[in-house]
Amino acid sequence: MDEIKAAKEQIRKDMAKVINGFTEKQRVEKTKAIEHKLFEFANFMEARIILLYVDGENEVRTKHILKRSFGFNKIVVLPAFDPERRKATILKVDHPDKDLQPGPRGVAEPNPARCKPVPIQKVDIAIIPGLAFDEKGARIGSGKGYYDRFIPDLPATTRKVALAFEEQIIPQVPTESHDKNVDIIITDKRIIYKI
């Protein structure tokens, strides 16, 4: 167990180095390629209620995806995390510039005073963040387990999609019993369907 935790931590450090090694131009170009694939992806375009995330330091940036989604008449929901209860609430965001506030993970989250809760069972597609993935859909997140606790609550019919730079795809992610996979990974180079 400790070996797996140590391996995951090393992968997090390695990924941070890789992503921090991108020039701003490279990161923007890669993010645009991922965004382009996402907005051509049938599951995304057919979805009405989409769960997105606000990017953390070494994740694919989502600010433009978030804003662009409104242009396609999507109902955009974001998670708000409660570290004490180790739970997330899904909240509908109408105005990203006004509806977000700093969250406990150091990432902007919906303000519960401004945003209405949405039952997780209503989510059509869930865009899940991560720092590293393998082609089987295994992922390494920030290490807090927020998404691992949250993914099982999504309906079986909800597509779980990760956005990743091609460099974030590794041969095999070390996993523990509580780790949850994604179904599809969209990178700047390809779309990977879980093997």
pTM of the model: 0.94
Predicted confidence at residue 82, as pLDDT, reads 83
In the chain, pLDDT over 70 holds for what percent of residues? Answer: 99
Q: Note the pLDDT of residue 1.
A: 61
**pLDDT number for residue 34:** 98
Assess contact for 108 and 102: CB atoms under 8 A: yes
The separation between CA 24 and the C-alpha centre of its own chain, rounded to angstroms, equals 21
- Counting as low any pLDDT under 70, the low residues of the chain are 1, 195
List the structure tokens of 174.
């070390």
- What kind and span of H or E run contains 185? strand 184-186
For the chain, list the domains and their CATH numbers. 2-193 (3.40.50.10420)
pLDDT given for residue 6 in this prediction: 93
